[in-house]
Homo-oligomer: A and B are copies of this chain.
Amino acid sequence: MTTARARRAVHDRSSLLEVAVGEFITRGYDATSMEDLSRAAGITKSSFYHHFAGKEALLRAALERSLAGLFALLEEPGATDGTPLARLRHIVRGQIAVLQRDLPYVTLLLRVRGNTESERWALEQRRTFDAQIATLVREAVEAGEIRVGVEPALAARLLSGLVNSVVEWYRPGRPGAAQLPDDVARAAFEGILPAAG
């Protein structure tokens, strides 16, 4: 209680959302109460309810934010113009940039297992996003830009696995953060451990 009171109270919607996402990640969504959230934000429960209808509304807002970032990426010129391979490269770099910018939101999105309506909605949105990537991979194979090694669907899954695994260890301010989008793209297209020569 002392720590929570000593911390500065937050009152705007976006800061409250950030506090909630932090608590959801640390405690788990199911184990977090509005009581916990109010305490973490240093405000009363009724002030919290003034901004958000409840826990599920907070989860929904957080998932919407991270999905909005990912889908906005698919609308960028680099993701819509050019060869399938160039578009894929743009998207992989962009996914890492979104993850770096919205780390807690993306972390929450990737932990979702489908226990609530908002979680099922987010899983559905993730499937839609992944399907667009899989389509682009198939197009790159058909255009002869990518060597046909594994099934395009498997390649798309591995690509998404590689990109999303970054949330497990990335922390803001890490050395090399600025090069990370390029580093991950190179790993995806040339190999994590490419043979020399």
- Chain A positions within 8 Å of B, measured between CB atoms, are 28, 30-31, 85, 88, 137, 140, 144-147, 149-151, 154-155, 157-162, 164-166, 168-169, 176, 183-184, 186-197
Contact = CB atoms under 8 A, between A and B. Distances in A.
Give 9 nearest A-B pairs by CB, closest first. Answer: A161-B165, A191-B191, A147-B194, A150-B183, A162-B162, A158-B192, A147-B196, A188-B192, A190-B191
Contact of A162 (B147, B158, B194): B158
Contact of A154 (B85, B145, B183): B183
B195 A189 contact: yes
20 contacts: A85-B193, A147-B197, A149-B183, A149-B186, A150-B183, A150-B186, A150-B187, A154-B183, A155-B192, A157-B165, A158-B184, A159-B192, A159-B193, A161-B166, A161-B169, A162-B192, A164-B165, A189-B194, A190-B191, A191-B191
A154 to B, nearest CB: 6
A165 B165 CA distance: 7
A183 B149 CA distance: 8
Contacts of A31: 30-31
